[in-house]
Amino acid sequence: MSLTRRHFLQLSLAVNALYALRMPAAQANPAKLQFGPATPFSFDALKAMARDAATRDYTPPPRPDPAIVQQIDYDAHGKLQYRKDAALWAEGGSAYPISFQHVGMFFPKTVKMNVVEHGQARSIVYDPDLFAAGPDHVARQLAPEPSAFAGFWVHEKRGGPDWKKLEPWATFLGASYFRAVGANGDQGQIGLSARGIAIAPGTSNPEEFPDFVAFWFEPAPKPTDPVIIYALLDGPSLSGAYRFALSRGKGVVMNIESALFLRKDIERLGIAPLTSMYWFSETAKGAGSDWRPEVHDSDGLAMLNGNGEHLWRPLNNPPHISVSSFMDKAPKGYGLFQRDRLFDHYQDGVRYHLRPCAWVEPLGDWGAGAVQLTEIPTDDEIHDNIVAMWVPKEPATAGKSYEFKYRLSWLNEDPSNFPLARCVATRLGNGGQPGKPRPKGVRKFMVEFLGKPLDALAWGEKPEPVIVASRGEISRVEIEPVPDDVAGHWRTHFDLKADGADPVELRCFLRLRDKAVSETWLFQYHPF
């Protein structure tokens, strides 16, 4: 896995903090955006550009002098604050200003920026004076060409609180990574990331990271209008054209269209990928690994399959790379969620309990394939080790093309209409009976569910746990209300004995009078 997204998280927070502390003195002649000549532009033209690029050998995007860029480390990059007065639409023309990010050690490739109005595109000209860095900053040694833009931020609307002092609500920086705030964006909360595409994560081949090599921005005249962004994707194995319609509300909703054109065969093509970090949680924690009870940006994969079944798969930090495929046809949605919202469960000043969730809703029939979850071992929170994505069933071979449309919602919870109880906790411990010798190789699982229709059960009425294991023996199954006086809060616990080291796939849901009253809990257990 790349560290791009984790470094971006650190840098984005650092840049905003440093901006407030290190505002430079006003220049006599501050830089203003300069634009190139106008040329016709449309999404169809961008698709044709991507299609044509896929017929030629791949050429990496230009890089400013690598020897200089490598010196723009964490601290040096933090001093390269973009001058907000020079932001695109800082004074008008669109409700949401856009500022730009500089290349650096972690983002060494240049990205072309363009503005589109009335079907005409003009390039945005890079000028080192757009960034508030002193004359002795190492970035001043870069030549004017190629451009040293690496990404951009979409800022809050003008006309309210000072947008120059607020966190951006959408960011695109590094390869094809992008992210947005959820409903806690006013508290500076970002977390997991999305990507334009994922190529071969969790395979025996090195993972490939194509780049968004150019962006085009259309204005949003009113705050209720979406910000329209077009992007050209390019990499060794494919090229692509993207259209993003970004809407700012309680959280952020992105309507995304993509057209992909393959140069080469791709072992594992990931559509609408989400990337996150999971180190440990209440489920299982090694003694003394960290002082905090939980550390993760997301704690589970939620799915709504083509048959309308809601699934919840708690994340693992496995002993080795693990890839789980959930076969489906015409999926209705999937996402990486942070369900545990209690600060006491984290005790961390970065406020993991406020991290956003991201939900992918296919628009149209995506056909047959699988939601695929890749989990990579990690021993620290600095690594992104989780990928969730859609993998089409048919092989991704050279010369093929694809078009996908989907809605990506950055919120605090599942945006789908969910009528059943949710799984809210998974805990593991030693199996057997208290006060007696614990049998070797037996693990106890405790799974909690909360919500309707469990809160409407009659006195003395109990749901029935339905538990299935891919191998091993299930015993000591019990169901009870959690003794916290919270209506609709139930837990089931059971023992599993499984010999050998092969993973065990577990499945559980609650039913009442032959009807499911909870989503389906899935878990991959690695015996030890």
Note the pLDDT tens digit of each residue in 343-382. 888 888 888 888 999 999 999 999 999 999 999 999 988 8
Exposure string of 228-244, with b = 16+ CB inside 10 Å and e = fewer, is bbbbbbbbebbbbbbbb
Residue type at position 85: D
- DSSP code of 471? S
Q: Model-level pTM? A: 0.91
Residues composing the chain: 528
Strand 211-218 with 112-117, pairing: parallel
CATH 1.10.4080.10 fits 422-525, yes or no: no
When pLDDT is cut at 50, 70 and 90, the band that residue 440 belongs to is confident
Query: CA-to-CA distance for 476 and 156, rounded, in angstroms?
Result: 54
- DSSP code of 13? H
Q: For the chain, how big is the Rg over CA atoms in Å?
A: 25
- DSSP code of 49? H
Q: Which of 218, 220, 240 shows the shortest CA–CA distance to 231? A: 240
Exposure string of 245-264, with b = 16+ CB inside 10 Å and e = fewer, is bbbbeebbbbbbbbbbbbbb
Contact between 284 and 434 under an 8 Å Cβ cutoff? The reply is no
Query: CA-to-CA distance for 424 and 406, rounded, in angstroms?
Result: 27
CATH 2.70.98.10 fits 4-411, yes or no: yes
Q: Give the three-state DSSP class for 8.
A: helix
Residue 62 has pLDDT above 50, yes or no: yes
SS (H, E, C) 59-118: CCCCCCCHHHHCCCCHHHHHCCEECHHHCECCCCCCCCCEEEEECECCECCCCEEEEEEC
SS (H, E, C) 153-214: EECCCCCCCCHHHCCCCEEEECCCEEEECCCCHHHCCCCCEEECEEECCCCCCCCECCEEEE
pLDDT tens digits, residue range 483-496? Answer: 998 999 999 999 99
Query: CA-to-CA distance for 218 and 523, rounded, in angstroms?
Result: 44
pLDDT of residue 3: 41
Residue 9 has pLDDT above 50, yes or no: no
**Given CA atoms 147, 153, 154, 157 in this order, what sign does their dihedral have?**
negative
Residue 1 has pLDDT above 50, yes or no: no
Q: Looking at residues 40-50, what average pLDDT do you find? A: 97
Question: Residue 314 pairs with which residues in a beta bridge?
Answer: 300
Write the CB contacts of 382 (distance below 8 Å, at least 6 apart in sequence): 3, 6
Q: Looking at residues 82-95, what average pLDDT do you find? A: 94
When pLDDT is cut at 50, 70 and 90, the band that residue 17 belongs to is very low
Report how far apart the first and last C-alpha atoms of the chain are (Å, whole number).
25
pLDDT of residue 82: 93
Write the CB contacts of 251 (distance below 8 Å, at least 6 apart in sequence): 180, 181, 182, 183, 185, 356, 409, 410, 411, 412
Strand 310-314 with 39-40, pairing: unpaired
Query: CA-to-CA distance for 200 and 194, rounded, in angstroms?
Result: 16
Contact between 77 and 13 under an 8 Å Cβ cutoff? The reply is no
Residue 510 has pLDDT above 50, yes or no: yes
CA angle 204, 205, 208 (to 5 degrees): 140
Q: Looking at residues 91-106, what average pLDDT do you find? A: 94
pLDDT tens digits, residue range 232-263? Answer: 999 999 999 999 999 999 899 999 999 999 99
Residue 14 has pLDDT above 60, yes or no: no
pLDDT of residue 210: 97
Domain residue ranges in the chain:
4-411, 422-525
Q: Do domains 4-411 and 422-525 have the same CATH topology?
A: no
Q: Is 494 left (phi over 0), alpha (psi -120 to 50) or beta?
A: beta
pLDDT of residue 188: 64
Q: Residue 507 corresponds to which tokens in the numbers above?
A: 């499945």
Residue 447 has pLDDT above 60, yes or no: yes
Cα 148 to Cα 112, 210, 214, 430: the distances in Å are 9, 18, 12, 56
